[in-house]
Structure 1
Amino acid sequence: MQKIKPKRELVPDHPVASKFTRDLKYALEQEDSGEVSFLLQQRAHSANAIIELSNDDWMKEPSAQLDPLVLLGLWSLEYKRELTSPLCIAASRGYTSCLQYLLQRGAKPNLIPGSRSPLHLACANAYTDCTELLLEYGANPRLQTEDGITPLHLCDSPQSFWCAKLLLKYRADVNQLTEEDQETPLHVAAKQGLHSHAHLYLRYGASVDVMNVHQVSPLSCACASAVELAKQKDYLQVCKLLIAYSANVNSVDTEKRSPLHKASRNASVQLVQLLLKHGADVNAIDYNGCSPLANAIQAAPFKKELEPQRTVQTLLNHGSQRVWPGAFLKVLKSCADSPKTVEVLFNSYQQIQVTEEWMEAVPKEIFQVHRPFYESLFALASGPRSLQHLCRFAARKLFGKQCSTIVPQLPIPKRLHGYLLLEPEDLVY
């Protein structure tokens, strides 16, 4: 596999201090595509000219704006030399006509003065027409940067789908690993929630369970990345696809964290349901001794907009072992501002002794906001749970891990289905 080699000894045709480079920098800053194209086509030394946009000696650049800490000697300055070419600039900006002009006049698509090839830059910016032109003129779709990154790894946005398709058409390696993280393009697609990309790669033979350097599979990447509510549907689609291609739902990384651990930490209830439906181990323990339920509880204070009680409820209804009763005080302290999470957990026990310490654990301002719930909870310090609750507990104990499948089939009102499945009611009794 060909790699981009560092070019430390190149002598630029257009040094950083030259009039051409100054004019080019100004045109780029102004985003003046016409002037940039004119300079690259008519003023550059050649179609394969080496252009120095910056250098490694800030003393040669009097106009450089330096941080005061640098001038005081309190912060070391790293001023990197940046070499490029007309082809790289045109590809990175999506200037298709300029790119075609340069290629027709002998610009070499695999001549790379900097860290990335023109093809890398076109794909990173999702410029499909530029990508196609470069490939037609012989750009190498398997060329790697010094970090082992191929153009396919840089197709990391929905807009880059057609770039990815073109790369594969020109025989890009769908299972190529990056050098540092050992990740494939499928890992990238999973991290970004790109269903169409993932489907494309799998159809071209991508390995569904390939592990990166941390033993993280694409499925595990998707579950860990499903953080934003707005994108969780995208990650759900990716995970459904990976599972349809027989991804291992119980793979674990170097910390023994499974996809279910990660989905639970993100309060991704639909992902949690999907993984459990396909056999995920609800009681898997990672190296820190945490179960998926423990991860969901830890995340609850920070994921209120995602209704973390739904994740906790789902895990309990699939047979998750409960928190040790003696540790419930800690749960109350951390989840006080998520009373529905507290309610779901509390109702999963037959009886827990409510103490004065519990009352002290809830901050006064939170108590006032959720006063009806906490008054009902603390009132149980002086009495047992209701008969109705005890019947619920007995039924749940009988159904065990099958609660989520048996309860909905019972010939009872839907409201009782919800009650048996720990649906929050904002009061306990």
Structure 2
Amino acid sequence: MSSSDRLPDYPLHSDLVRRLKSALDARDDETVSRLICTEVGHVDATIELANDDWMKDPAAPLPAGVLVGLWTLEYKRELTTPLCIAAARGHTACVRHLLSRDADPDASPGGQGALHEACLGGHTDCAQLLLQHGADPDLLSAEGLAPLHLCRTAASLGCAQALLEHGASVHRAGGAGRDTPLHVAAQRGLDEHARLYLGCGARVDARNGRGETPLSTACGAARRPDEHARCLRLCALLLRRGAEAGARDEDERSPLHKACGRARPELARLLLRHGADAGALDYGGASPLARALQTAACAPEAAPQRTVQALLNHGSPAVWPDAFPKVLKTCARAPTVIETLFNAYPQLRVSESWREVIPEEVSQMHQAFYQSFFALAHTPRCLQHLGRSAIRKLLGKKCFHLVPLLPLPKSLQNYLLLEPEGVLH
């Protein structure tokens, strides 16, 4: 009989569970500790905190989320132990009390042990106590995750250190995604965790189930603006430790594809400096430039023209000329992107019909730029631009590195590197 089929010692509607749930909801730590330390019959008792088993009352109205689960005949039943509750809440004294009464540190009727719970909450003292009392540092949860996989916040660094000191494996792949702890740290932007794992021998280019390296995972993760600096430090660390800047995943996407898809110009520049291929194509035929252009209109605050500019200065081919109207339509609200890309062509014929793809309010908002843009429908580019194009063609993929070495004023160097001016000539 599995733990999920076993009758709990304290079922959902028992008086103790009712009071315990009330205390948990109210964040009444004192009552929670008192109940699990003094009123629970034995230290390894199974407590049922939730159960949406519709078969208990087939006539009951079911929420939509439960109806979805019926197709696989699954339901949520949350079983736990006093030790798991105490560890999840960070009640060190309660954990110590239960362990002193020989509570099993690895009991996991709900599929996750007390050590998993302590790591999820970032409760270092609880994790250390559990490990000192013989908790398995590599115990797998029902989802195949070791405690180290659940060190997902900055507060869990102490837990990760304690796990490694007690023999946890830094190489273990876990869960459906087959991520290593370094993948988890990279996905969460935890640079100190990554430094710790690398110091313990983690493989910097380990692959998960999707063929991603930790660097690829870091570049593809969604970030809040306040997390960008920490993620940049993490990626710089991985690259210094030998991560391959051009490693492809199962879809042939490189870290650069992902950084461009997330509108991260500073990360794209970092990868390009470490040799990432600006012209690489994924399985769908998309280049990093295509990914950058796709997200330009969605994240104008991220200065997408900087990503486009960096790619072009590192040798990325420009968009096929016949596809430029589509770019114009997509990026109309980001005229600096249009300007940067347009200046990468020696000569591109502008059609008056292109006006139709630009919303009137956008054209009015950026009137000076679009007036200069459509003025080129009747005249060739200026000699200065043609000279720029000739020099860029000569320097090729080394534009970014060689232009700053030319004995030219800074303003001319910026011109050669496609720095936007706000109008076209």
TM-score per shorter chain, which class?
Answer: over 0.9
8 Å contact from structure 1 (residues 226, 235) kept in 2: no
Pairwise CA distance, 1:385: 0.8
User: Residues of 2 paired with 1:70 and 1:294: CA distance?
Assistant: 37
User: Residues of 1 paired with 2:144 and 2:408: CA distance?
Assistant: 60
User: Residues of 1 paired with 2:116 and 2:295: CA distance?
Assistant: 38
Question: Given the alignment, which residue of 284, 291, 299 partners 1:303?
Answer: 299
**Which amino acid in the other structure matches residue 8 of structure 1?**
S
Q: Given the superposition, is the C-alpha separation of residues 282 and 68 from structure 1 closer, same or farther in structure 2, using an over 3 Å criterion? A: closer
User: Residues of 2 paired with 1:123 and 1:152: CA distance?
Assistant: 7
Identity of aligned residues (%): 50
Question: Given the alignment, which residue of 267, 272, 290 partners 2:263?
Answer: 267
2:424 aligns to what? 428
1:372 aligns to what? 368
**Which amino acid in the other structure matches residue 264 of structure 1?**
C
* Deviations 1:179-204, CA, capped at 9 Å, x for gaps: 42111000000001111000100110
| Residue 116 of structure 2 is aligned to residue 130 of structure 1 | no
Any idea what SS the aligned residue of 1:156 has? Answer: coil
| Residue 245 of structure 2 is aligned to residue 249 of structure 1 | yes
1:41 aligns to what? 37
Q: Given the superposition, is the C-alpha separation of residues 284 and 170 from structure 1 closer, same or farther in structure 2, using an over 3 Å criterion? A: same
State the 4+ residue runs in structure 1 displaced beyond 6 angstroms. none
Question: Given the alignment, which residue of 138, 145, 149 partners 2:145?
Answer: 149
User: Residues of 2 paired with 1:295 and 1:376: CA distance?
Assistant: 27
User: Residues of 2 paired with 1:170 and 1:325: CA distance?
Assistant: 60
Counterparts of residues 111-122 of structure 1 (less than 5 Å): 111-122=107-118
Q: TM-score, normalised by structure 2?
A: 0.95
Counterparts of residues 14-93 of structure 1 (less than 5 Å): 14-58=10-54, 76=70, 79-93=75-89
2:327 aligns to what? 331
Pairwise CA distance, 1:18: 1.7
| Residue 201 of structure 2 is aligned to residue 205 of structure 1 | yes
8 Å contact from structure 2 (residues 346, 386) kept in 1: yes
| Residue 137 of structure 2 is aligned to residue 169 of structure 1 | no
Pairwise CA distance, 1:227: 4.0
**Which amino acid in the other structure matches residue 93 of structure 2?**
S
User: Residues of 2 paired with 1:70 and 1:39: CA distance?
Assistant: 32
Pairwise CA distance, 1:229: 2.9
**Which amino acid in the other structure matches residue 339 of structure 2?**
E
Question: Given the alignment, which residue of 221, 226, 230 partners 2:226?
Answer: 230
8 Å contact from structure 1 (residues 349, 393) kept in 2: yes
Pairwise CA distance, 1:9: 3.7
1:393 aligns to what? 389
**Which amino acid in the other structure matches residue 12 of structure 1?**
P
Q: TM-score, normalised by structure 1?
A: 0.94
Any idea what SS the aligned residue of 1:382 has? Answer: coil
User: Residues of 2 paired with 1:265 and 1:406: CA distance?
Assistant: 27
Pairwise CA distance, 1:68: 6.2
Pairwise CA distance, 1:75: 8.8
CA RMSD of aligned residues (A): 2.1
Question: Given the alignment, which residue of 402, 407, 411 partners 1:411?
Answer: 407
**Which amino acid in the other structure matches residue 49 of structure 2?**
L
Pairwise CA distance, 1:111: 1.5
**Which amino acid in the other structure matches residue 421 of structure 1?**
L
User: Residues of 1 paired with 2:371 and 2:7: CA distance?
Assistant: 77
1:363 aligns to what? 359
* Deviations 1:235-265, CA, capped at 9 Å, x for gaps: 1111111111111111111111011111111
**Which amino acid in the other structure matches residue 400 of structure 2?**
S
Q: Provide the aligned length of Structure 1 versus Structure 2.
A: 423
In structure 1, the gaps of 5 or more residues are: none
Q: Given the superposition, is the C-alpha separation of residues 363 and 41 from structure 1 closer, same or farther in structure 2, using an over 3 Å criterion? A: same
8 Å contact from structure 2 (residues 4, 110) kept in 1: no
Q: Given the superposition, is the C-alpha separation of residues 70 and 212 from structure 1 closer, same or farther in structure 2, using an over 3 Å criterion? A: closer
| Residue 398 of structure 2 is aligned to residue 402 of structure 1 | yes
Q: Given the superposition, is the C-alpha separation of residues 249 and 337 from structure 1 closer, same or farther in structure 2, using an over 3 Å criterion? A: same
8 Å contact from structure 2 (residues 219, 259) kept in 1: yes
8 Å contact from structure 1 (residues 6, 114) kept in 2: no
8 Å contact from structure 1 (residues 373, 426) kept in 2: yes
1:285 aligns to what? 281
**Which amino acid in the other structure matches residue 239 of structure 2?**
I
Pairwise CA distance, 1:14: 1.5
Q: Given the superposition, is the C-alpha separation of residues 59 and 282 from structure 1 closer, same or farther in structure 2, using an over 3 Å criterion? A: closer
Which range moved further: 223-232 or 31-40? 223-232
Pairwise CA distance, 1:60: 5.8
8 Å contact from structure 1 (residues 226, 263) kept in 2: no
8 Å contact from structure 1 (residues 220, 259) kept in 2: yes
Q: Given the superposition, is the C-alpha separation of residues 219 and 50 from structure 1 closer, same or farther in structure 2, using an over 3 Å criterion? A: same
User: Residues of 2 paired with 1:182 and 1:238: CA distance?
Assistant: 21
Any idea what SS the aligned residue of 1:82 has? Answer: strand
User: Residues of 1 paired with 2:344 and 2:372: CA distance?
Assistant: 16
User: Residues of 2 paired with 1:70 and 1:93: CA distance?
Assistant: 27
User: Residues of 2 paired with 1:257 and 1:118: CA distance?
Assistant: 38
In structure 2, the gaps of 5 or more residues are: none
Pairwise CA distance, 1:66: 5.5
**Which amino acid in the other structure matches residue 91 of structure 1?**
A
User: Residues of 2 paired with 1:298 and 1:400: CA distance?
Assistant: 25
8 Å contact from structure 1 (residues 229, 306) kept in 2: no
* Deviations 1:121-177, CA, capped at 9 Å, x for gaps: 010010111111111111111000122101000001111111100100010010101
8 Å contact from structure 1 (residues 124, 154) kept in 2: yes
